[in-house]
């Protein structure tokens, strides 16, 4: 079974997820929502933000690699099948959308 994941501005942490699947998907959203070096006890956790202020095609290319590295390191139970981007033109935002499979 595949799942779609994206960082969410209204993401709330559930300290007691109902299933392993919910836990893994929550972990992936947390990884995508965290800027590397911002977590005091694990400076390597999250996605490197070196792509900020770059042209959109360049930023997306860099972000794909950063996402693969971050997920592989912090949530190895996930297999990324595809990464696409949702653009919010009037806000100037680009949001990654991951299609993943759980290998747990």
Q: What is the pLDDT of residue 91?
A: 66
Q: Is a pLDDT exceeding 90 seen at residue 1?
A: no
Q: What is the reported pTM?
A: 0.85
Question: What is the CATH number assigned to the segment(s) 18-102?
Answer: 3.10.450.40
Q: What is the pLDDT of residues 31-86, one digit of tens each?
A: 998 999 898 988 989 998 888 888 888 889 999 999 999 999 999 999 999 999 98
DSSP 39: S
Between CA 101 and CA 104 the distance in angstroms is: 9
Residue with tokens 């079974």: 1
SS3 44: coil
Residue with tokens 């959203």: 29
Q: What is the pLDDT of residue 20?
A: 93
Look at 86 and 9; give whichever has higher pLDDT. 86
Q: Could you state, in order of their start, the residue ranges of all structural domains in the chain?
A: 18-102
Between CA 28 and CA 98 the distance in angstroms is: 10
Between CA 33 and CA 10 the distance in angstroms is: 11
Q: What is the pLDDT of residue 93?
A: 75
């Amino acid at each position: 079974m595949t799942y779609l994941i994206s960082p969410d501005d209204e993401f709330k942490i559930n300290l007691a997820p109902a299933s392993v699947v919910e836990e893994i998907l929550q972990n992936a959203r947390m990884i995508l929502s965290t800027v590397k070096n911002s977590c005091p006890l694990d400076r390597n956790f999250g996605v490197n933000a070196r792509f900020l202020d770059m042209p959109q095609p360049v930023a997306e290319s860099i972000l794909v690699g950063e996402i693969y590295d971050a997920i592989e390191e912090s949530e190895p139970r996930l297999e990324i099948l595809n990464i696409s981007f949702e653009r919010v033109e009037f806000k100037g935002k680009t949001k990654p959308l991951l299609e993943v499979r759980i290998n747990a």
